[in-house]
Chain A
């Protein structure tokens, strides 16, 4: 009895001591004093993915290796751009650290690159944020060390002159410094970064578009996008969650110029780490993210559906590309959101006057009937915008990838089938002029009028059968099954 009591006392004494110890450890007055013991290679991820959280791990020596690649990528369908990247993606690889980590950072510049680069990490305490120590010529690498002193979400970017141009070409990303013990666990985490792009051609102009310094100076952006391109987070690329889950978004803004009004349509942010720092604001609709800044936003998704992520400086979202999607699956909750319950006619003046603008439609309808020449002319413009990139200027297509439209037996055999492909897309093998193509053409988001015009143009060019495709034909195919 006595011995067991003694044992108990000893145990509890030990417990108290160990508690005291861990308390001491977690309250370093100065984060610079946190010591590191072991080495670890950092996990880096391309957007929209985020590396695993630090959890309870101790501060370590963290090895980060990042490669700079100058490479051509897709800006939007049919338009490419020569991106400069950290780790091959825009934004660059996500780096996840905790307070007190000693980061050994190696920056390598690929031998095929043309220009010297460097990196300025806003998480670094030191001159230039690392830029001074990381200026590196193509085919070389530079190594420097820094200690993460302040928790928060930080932007990194290239700071080689002309700084604006390097950032405008996509040289930015995020580095997260978690507090001791890590951020609270959530179900889903994603990495999103906005950037503005300046191209010689206007938004949507096809082909490889060069950077335009003058537009960048004028802050006249052609594209404002999430994760480096139009559509990086829409359709099949949408981020996902299930009803009841908590989603955390690490949202950065690379700029170079524009400030983001980040908003998720149909959600309210339960928590926002304002400017990526330690202040937490609650119940936020739209959070402002400065260029060269970031924010952590968290929300629980309560109902299923597609939630649209936008820069609520709204023309950027719908006209320049700053639009993403969060698809939430799960059970409906009618108490939170009912959907349409009833549809009716609204009579503002008591139901006496009911005038639909029918008359106007009838008047304008005959105006719309164009001559064949007009249709071909307008179809040619649609072709240059929509079809040219794959099917090429003279409908010659690209061998093994995109079938020809010039003197195409497949095209001439069936007008309705051609309409259907434009309107609904086409996947799988087809044989054109004796050659098999197995590829995907997406549904084209153009009006019936434009479908009719562009097909009429194609049928009246390059040795095809001169079919005249009408709007009503397009309508029939669209509505048929």
Chain B
């Protein structure tokens, strides 16, 4: 009896959970790589995990706000989201006229993004996980050496207001993930571990392992320079900050999934 009860709960939990996270995920095969800021000795190993195919959309976030009233614009604590939180929305649960339901949600803080993922039974990706998946272009897992790959990213820096574009409007990468480049910046769980001092020229003699400033500043190759921007933006953020060009997506550990 007890067993059956447990099973029912388990199934129920799974079903609810499943219904909740409608957003599609795909599995990412882990591996070892050298992040863009690193030196040869600084290899990073990534375990297998699942990642959302698309960034979280406005529509999905409206649903979340309706279920989690503390994340309404009118009731959110300033400590957890700054004054620009959902700034373009018409009301607590309505998008602004210029916004599209299928555009990525932006102007959300790290706290909000973190909570959102938690509520879906997921979590925010780490910088290393995010960068690992984002090395891919359409056909290669690591396309960082390709000029076209870097040009695409750099081209995005020059395109205004891409945050209004719909999810899926960029390319599907090697892992079948969309929009890592070309739509919006994305929050990572450990964004604040980037040690950009704000005075980036000083970082030259900042012998930090995580952020080898000298490599990036002295960079003459496009590879570092495209990635550098992402580290610069992460370095400028605080967890309560919200930005029009900053959204997020969630990930899930493989073993949790297997556990179910």
* Interface residues on chain B, size class: 35 or more
Inter-chain contact B233/A137, CB cutoff 8 Å: yes
Known contacts A111-B87, A137-B236, A210-B155: A217-B220 contact under CB 8 Å = yes
Q: Is B62 an interface residue (CB 8 A)?
A: no
Q: Judging by beta carbons under 8 Å apart, are B243 and A115 in contact?
A: no
Chain A, interface size category, equals 35 or more
Which chain A residues border B225 with CB–CB below 8 Å? 162, 165, 213
Judge whether B203 is part of the interface by a CB distance below 8 angstroms.
Answer: yes
* Interface: B217 (CB within 8 A): yes
Nearest to A131 among chain B residues (CB) is: B199
Q: Are A133 and B198 in contact (CB under 8 A)?
A: yes
Chain B residues positioned under 8 Å from A72 (CB to CB): 160
Q: CA separation between A114 and B229, bound complex, in Å?
A: 9
With beta carbons under 8 angstroms apart, the residue of B158, B196, B213, B219 that contacts A208 is B158
**Which residues 202-260 of B have a CB within 8 angstroms of A?**
202-203, 213, 216-217, 219-220, 222, 225, 228-229, 232-233, 235-238, 241-246
Contact present for B200 and A138 (CB under 8 Å): no
Instruction: Say yes or no: is B39 at the interface (Cβ < 8 Å to chain A).
Output: no
Contact A138 B244 (CB under 8 A): yes
Asked if B235 contacts A116 (CB within 8 A), the reply is yes
- 4 smallest beta-carbon distances between A and B, as pairs: A135-B198, A116-B236, A161-B200, A137-B236
The answer to whether A132 and B198 touch across the interface, beta carbons within 8 angstroms, is yes
| Partner among A131, A136, A162, A214 whose Cβ is within 8 Å of the Cβ of B236 | A136
CB neighbours (8 Å) of A386 from chain B are none
Besides the contacts A139-B243, A162-B228, what 19 more A-B pairs have beta carbons closer than 8 Å?
Answer: A70-B160, A82-B158, A112-B160, A112-B245, A114-B233, A114-B245, A115-B157, A115-B232, A118-B198, A128-B199, A132-B199, A135-B198, A135-B199, A137-B237, A138-B246, A139-B244, A162-B216, A208-B158, A211-B154
- A111 and B202 within 8 A (CB): no
User: Which B residue sits closest to A163, measured CB to CB?
Assistant: B201
6 A-B residue pairs with CB within 8 Å = A114-B233, A133-B198, A135-B236, A159-B199, A161-B217, A210-B154
Q: Say yes or no: B160 contacts A163, CB within 8 Å.
A: no
The complex places the Cα of A127 from the Cα of B241 at a distance, in Å, of: 26
- Does chain B have a CB within 8 A of A417? no
Q: Mark B68-81, 1 if CB is under 8 A from A, else 0.
A: 00000000000000
Q: Which chain A residues lie closer than 8 Å to B158 at the CB level?
A: 82, 208, 210-211
Specify which of A70, A134, A135, A159 lies most central, judged by the most chain B CB atoms within 10 Å of its CB: A135
A138 touches B216 (CB 8 A): no
Contact, CB under 8 Å: A161 / B213: yes
Interface residues of B (CB under 8 A from A): 82, 84, 87, 107, 154-155, 157-158, 160-161, 185, 196-203, 213, 216-217, 219-220, 222, 225, 228-229, 232-233, 235-238, 241-246
Chain B: minimal CB distance from A252 (Å): 20
Closest A residue to B244 by CB, please name it. Answer: A111
Q: At the interface, yes or no: A140 with Cβ under 8 Å from chain B?
A: yes
Complex Cα distance, B214 from A162, in Å, reads: 11
B241 touches which one: A134, A139, A165, A217 (CB < 8 A)?
Answer: A139
The residue on A at minimum CB distance from B198 is A135
Q: Within 8 Å CB of B241, what residues of A?
A: 137, 139-140
Contacts of B203 in A (CB 8 A): 161
State whether the Cβ of A93 lies closer than 8 Å to any Cβ in chain B. no
Point out the residues of chain B lying under 8 angstroms from A140, CB to CB: 82, 241
Contact of A114 among B84, B157, B220, B237 (CB under 8 A): B157
Query: Using Cβ atoms and an 8 Å threshold, which residues of chain B touch A115?
Result: 157, 229, 232-233
A119 CB → nearest B CB, Å: 11
B219 lies within 8 A of A162 (CB): yes
List, in ascending order, chain B residues with CB within 8 A of A160's CB: 200, 232
Taking a contact as CB atoms closer than 8 A, the residue among B154, B232, B242, B243 that contacts A161 in the complex is B232
